[in-house]
Structure 1
Amino acid sequence: MRKNPDIWMKWTPANGLNQHGIQTRILKRGIELLEVGGKVVYSTCSINPIENEAVIHRVLAEFDGAVELVDATSSLPGLKFSPGMESWLVASRNLEFYNTFEEVDEKWKTTIRPQMFPPKAEDREKYHLNRCIRILPHQQNTGAFFVAVLRKIKELNTKDDSKQATEMECDANDQSKKRENEDNLPHNQRKKRRKEIYREDPFVFFKEEEVVWKDIQSFYKISDSFDSKCLLTRCLVGKKKNIYLTSDAVRNLVVTNQSTIKFINTGVKAFVRCDNKNMKCAFRIANDGLDSIFPYIGDDRKVYIPKDDLITLLLNDNPQKSPPIITLSEVVQKQVKDLSLGSCVLIYREDSKDDKTPLVIHISGWRGATSLRCYMDKHSTVHLLRLLGGDISKYDINKFQRAKDDECENDEHCEETDEKEETEKDDEKCENDAKSGAENLVKQSS
């Protein structure tokens, strides 16, 4: 809980319910791989019995005497801990607690399983769950841990597994014979074996006469030494959204194995489509691949920016309120005066007076009609501001304190609303009393 503060807001009992099955399968597989007499240590960073004792109880029950829980306390002298739990309640997502599976509502029986409940009182001594080790955070100022040591004392009951293995072996022999018979046939009579093809978006590498590349190369004055055949997109038809850059070796690997290897992602994002009526090029430079293509970009799209101006651009990250060019230094104004609208590279070079390597920063920027801005995500912005000595108080916000403040504001608003309603009720009551008094006076006078 201390290592992961987000868990206070995100955690629900369903988290443990989901983990129970996964953890059980992992532990069972580990025990299956053990030799007789071997040990396996099951450990988690959770204190939820559904992920801990319930898993141990389920495995011990299913293996029925082939595995035992070892008392490992003598191996941990000086360690403060609590014994394992022998009884617990199982909670639904809505924090409805149940003692037995029979009590569970029908709507929860798909997520709450019978194996999650503790053993019956008369069976507790059989499983010795108190031999488990629970290390709680307050005991010695650590994180929470659960540890259980299990020993395999005899072979598992694997009759069903053996039967399944035998059937698989028979199938394998049949397939082998089938392949042998096929290999004995003449070459022209053999059936072609179909390779499994994974249905992923294609990796379409640029050709030498790529129309999109001509516009990009012309706009950014990219030198001819840059190999455009290492650029790729993920769409065969239609507008290309992102353009990625790979090395020549990776390109050859993808091209020659695209039908047999499942490629998920490759390359770094170099250009991003940014449609704008006033732009001569439909793609802007992406920060991800900027360092790779920077040496090839012409000087026309490079702007050298002083430290103070760069801090100003980083602090003004709202694209609707980008800093006007006239508010920046004359050095920057002169460089962008004749610069056409569109993407550019902002370069900061630290003045180094000693032998230390100067700090050099390359950022993807945008030259607007009257403004200049930089493309940078929040985390990178904070990092650069720290390097430059800028003010990061704008981004240094404690989300827990902000949530607490918002809650207080809501409470104050509710109190103000209640006071207003009470005042309105009092005014209405006074008005009604006044009307009643006036009516009584009229009756008395008449």
Structure 2
Amino acid sequence: MGRRSKKFGGGGKRGTRPTNYAAIEKSNEKFESYYNGLKVVPEDEKEQFWEALRRDLPNSFRFTGSRKHALAVQERLKDFYIPNITSIRYEGELVEPPKPVPWYPDQLAWSMTTPKQVVRRFPPFASFHKFLVSETEVGNISRQEVVSMIPPLLLDVRPGMVVLDMCAAPGSKSAQLMEMIHAGEEEQMKSMTDRLENKDAQVARQQGRVEIADLLNGEAELDGFEDDGRSTGLLIANDSDYKRAHMLIHQMKRLNSPNLLVTNHDATMYPSIRLPSLPVADGKRSPNRYLKFDRILADVPCSGDGTARKNVNVWKDWNPANGIGLHPTQARILVRALQMLKPGGRVVYSTCSMNPIENEAVIASAIDRFSQTRAVAPASKPETALSRPIKQKSGQQFEEPFKYLDSQLKEFDTIFKFYDLSPQFPKDRFMVRNADGRPHKTIYYTTALARDILTENEGTGMKFVHCGVKMFVKQDVQRPDVCPWRIQKDGLTLLEPWIGTGRTVKIYKKTTLRKLLVEMFPKVNDGGWKELGELGEWARDVDMGCCVLKLIPTNEEDGFHEHMVLPLWRSLYSLNLMLPKEERRAMLLRLFNDETPLVNTTHKRDAATAKKEEESLETSQALGEDGRESEDVIKQEAIL
């Protein structure tokens, strides 16, 4: 299986010449005679088949994340960039713009055949390219081949399911599976949030009595969302290579899901995962329980000769022995997958090879072993719009331990009181990653099933590499009454419905957000709050610490089209949107088509305040004052 880059563009180092793939002749007598002899396509389509393999593979990408947010980013592409591209002519002909993949749900997958010389020559394409790069950097777009999007769709994953991706790196398919596990979660959480905001529910919330069943008022609760509207599903993504497992983590962390576990095991011998024993009658021995999966993706290592359009080395290096050597490994992975499957579950076996030895022969060997308990389902029926490739344009380590925190820790008392968090929010799913099991810097949050798996399998030899989403990070503060634990953006959407109104603020105008995106650390004291528009008076009066900024959609011209929540930090003298610089730039480009350089307002103030601070130094020392803005800024900048 080939390794795929997540970024658009790229190239070699300066002063070096890239490999001239065009110089490789796309011809190999053994390769062609082998597949012609197997009659993988009808005789009258043979010529078209080889012509298709010699054509360059189109670029393709997918909008990622929650469905609502992915559609919002996609809307920018359709409404702004595509209209500017469709009018371009090159060598007398209209250039074909990017097009949605017709069979992919909600048009969230796109492909383009535009030559590089056209992209470089015309400004609308250059602007479009910047959009792709910035959104890819922050994880809203993923570079993924069209053909690799098919296996996750065939799995038919639904919220509440337990899913295993046996050979997951680099993670594009795992990301698809995770999105399916969370499908519909936004609507369920929104429904619950609306009910929480009603006065009667607020009273119940403060008393810790509110239940999702009460909030639904008799409406049917969807399967998979029994955890107060959150998805109860779990994805375990595995890779046998430790470095590739970390590449997988990098790809998946951008989805900010507590429903993910990453492991590092040989898929042919994937270990059984223990679950907590169920309560039994006195005197009886509790039987061992092991995790079984609803869905398993076995996207196995293969010779990759189906990637000839992208990997031209296939033409040069192809040999029939490649597939023969991989067959035993592929068969063992599929057998292990079937052993771990729940009754009624589904395994999708996939390769990027055309070789029957790696495909039909592997399936046949599994059928021989499991013919009484397993059935093979045809892959063509669920996705009726799919066509064959000829007719479309596709082609030794140490890990910190996972330690769950005691729900009675004093840190939780501080956090829950400061943010007015509902007692309904579970305290028994927070963990840290250090040997002493104390919250020193970062607190993570996981699902209940992930917690049970991690605690039950500690010391058993299971190699867990990653789990959980960052929820709280410790911040230096200058006052003892301020909660030092700030909410991390990764976990904010999970926490939002349960946070009280005292640490939240709503804005309705994009101009307010733009100022916060462009200016880092805008001043609040000495009248600086007056320049913050609708946010000004609140910023002036709110106490120091972390806050939640809610972007409320309206029908106004200057209004938002999408609900978002972002973390803010109110320091002694300034306000700061807690977003990394690349995410600020991506939001500016997407929402405002704005490439304005970011401004650190503290640099502007340094020269103006230096003399004043020098003159007041003696007085400050005599009064015992500390926490000047320059110190405050240094501690804040460490966040970016």
TM bucket, shorter chain:
0.3 to 0.5
**Could you tell me the TM-score, scaled by structure 2's length?**
0.34
Larger helix percent? 1
The structure with the largest alpha-carbon Rg is 1
**Could you tell me the TM-score, scaled by structure 1's length?**
0.47
**Higher RCO (CA < 8 A, seq sep 6+):** 2
